[in-house]
């Protein structure tokens, strides 16, 4: 009998939940991400109440998983493992979020990026099921990606930050993007705030046939071309607010095929297959599901 505690720690909101297995949430709470001083104790209080309520039937919380906004430190050999590091979000720079719950909950705590959490969740029960190597990308307020290679999240030196790769501007492009670090990076050109800055209107208020979506699809396809050439994923899952514009999917598949120009000789690309570039299977439960998977991994270490 095990009770997993999971946190999807987003820059906007925290999702806290406890589950008896990866698919069975027993109790869940969502609240805005304010300061660490306020938000972390609020999460802790939720877990204490949940455990109290559930322990007769399910036992105590045995481990915990956190999928956090970042940049974060995911190097388990580092003294800063489990910290939110150089984030621009006020108050959160150098926050030892994992350490807080290790101390307060006294259980093993698994930790990864929010997007790796979502990728793990999609791999378990969503659009990544049964695949060894795939990507989950979110195009929302920012652009980020979780990458699973040979069934494990990619970490490496720091962790991937796929949203800041530089794009080749389209013929006649005058917009440089909105990223304070880079001109023409994926996030700066494609995320929600970029759409608003370029067209003066947020994406959800633009008509489905607005030219914005052709521009958007061509840049997303260029980013995907690099991901395909570097990672060679078996599938790419595209989530986040901007991807609610479902008309983007066929445009992106078509443009990706044009850009690769036959170089990647595989039906997934040559036939613009609908099962290659897909929306998430779990929508807004991918991250929390991933957090439970991280909890289980921590328990077995």
> Would you tell me which residues interact with a copy of itself (CB under 8 A)?
71, 85-86, 132-134, 145, 147, 149-150, 152, 154-169, 181-182, 184, 222, 225-234, 259-266, 268
**Binders of ligand ADP in range 47-106 (CB under 6 A):** none
Query: According to the binding rule CB under 6 A, does residue 250 interact with ligand ADP?
Result: no
3-state secondary structure 145-176: EEEEECCEECCCCCCCCHHHCECCCCCCCCCC
**How many residues contact ligand ADP, by CB under 6 A?**
16
Tell the smallest beta-carbon distance from residue 284 to ligand ADP (Å): 9
Query: According to the binding rule CB under 6 A, does residue 242 interact with ligand ADP?
Result: yes
Query: According to the binding rule CB under 5 A, does residue 181 interact with Zn ion?
Result: yes
Q: How far is CA 205 from the centre of its chain?
A: 24
Nearest to 96 by CA among 37, 145, 48, 146: 37
CB of 204 or CB of 271, closer to ligand ADP: 204
Tell the smallest beta-carbon distance from residue 46 to ligand ADP (Å): 20
Query: According to the binding rule CB under 5 A, does residue 260 interact with Zn ion?
Result: no
Tell the smallest beta-carbon distance from residue 203 to ligand ADP (Å): 3
Question: Using CA atoms, how far apart are residues 67 and 59, in angstroms rounded to an integer?
Answer: 24
Strands lying side by side in the sheet with 277-278: 152-153, 143-149, 134-139, 236-239, 277-278
Query: According to the binding rule CB under 6 A, does residue 188 interact with ligand ADP?
Result: no
Total residues belonging to the chain: 301
Question: Using CA atoms, how far apart are residues 131 and 137, in angstroms rounded to an integer?
Answer: 16
Query: According to the binding rule CB under 6 A, does residue 211 interact with ligand ADP?
Result: no
**Which one of 155, 164, 184, 251 is in contact with Zn ion (CB under 5 A)?**
164
CB of 108 or CB of 241, closer to ligand ADP: 241
Tell the smallest beta-carbon distance from residue 12 to Zn ion (Å): 19
Query: According to the binding rule CB under 6 A, does residue 241 interact with ligand ADP?
Result: yes
Binding site for ligand ADP (CB under 6 A): 10, 12, 138, 140-142, 192-193, 202-204, 240-242, 244-245
């Amino acid at each position: 009998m095990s009770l997993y505690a999971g946190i999807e720690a987003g820059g906007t909101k925290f999702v806290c939940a406890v589950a008896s297995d990866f698919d069975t949430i027993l109790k869940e709470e969502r609240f805005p991400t304010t300061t660490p001083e306020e938000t972390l104790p609020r999460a802790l209080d939720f877990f204490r109440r949940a455990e109290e309520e559930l322990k007769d039937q399910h036992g105590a919380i045995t481990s915990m998983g956190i999928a956090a906004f970042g940049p974060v430190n995911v190097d388990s050999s580092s003294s800063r493992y489990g910290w939110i590091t150089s984030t621009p979000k006020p108050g959160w720079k150098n926050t030892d979020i994992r350490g807080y719950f290790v101390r307060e909950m006294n259980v093993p705590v698994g930790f990864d990026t929010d997007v790796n959490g979502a990728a793990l969740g999609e791999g378990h029960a969503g659009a990544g099921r049964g695949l060894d190597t795939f990507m989950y990308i979110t195009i929302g307020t920012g652009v980020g990606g979780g990458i699973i290679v040979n069934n494990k999240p990619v970490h490496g030196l720091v962790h991937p930050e796929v949203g800041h790769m530089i794009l080749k501007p389209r013929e006649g492009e005058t917009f440089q993007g909105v990223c304070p670090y880079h001109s023409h990076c994926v996030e700066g050109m494609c995320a929600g705030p970029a759409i608003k800055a370029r067209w003066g209107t947020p994406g959800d208020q633009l008509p489905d046939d607005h030219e914005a979506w052709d521009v958007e699809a061509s840049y997303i396809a260029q980013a995907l071309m690099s991901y395909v050439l570097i990672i060679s994923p078996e599938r790419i899952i595209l989530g986040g607010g901007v991807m609610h514009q479902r008309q983007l999917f066929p445009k992106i598949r078509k443009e990706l095929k044009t850009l690769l120009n036959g170089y990647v000789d595989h039906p997934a690309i040559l036939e613009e297959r609908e099962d290659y570039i897909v929306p998430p299977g779990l929508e807004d439960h991918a991250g929390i599901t991933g957090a439970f998977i991280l909890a289980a991994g921590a328990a077995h270490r």
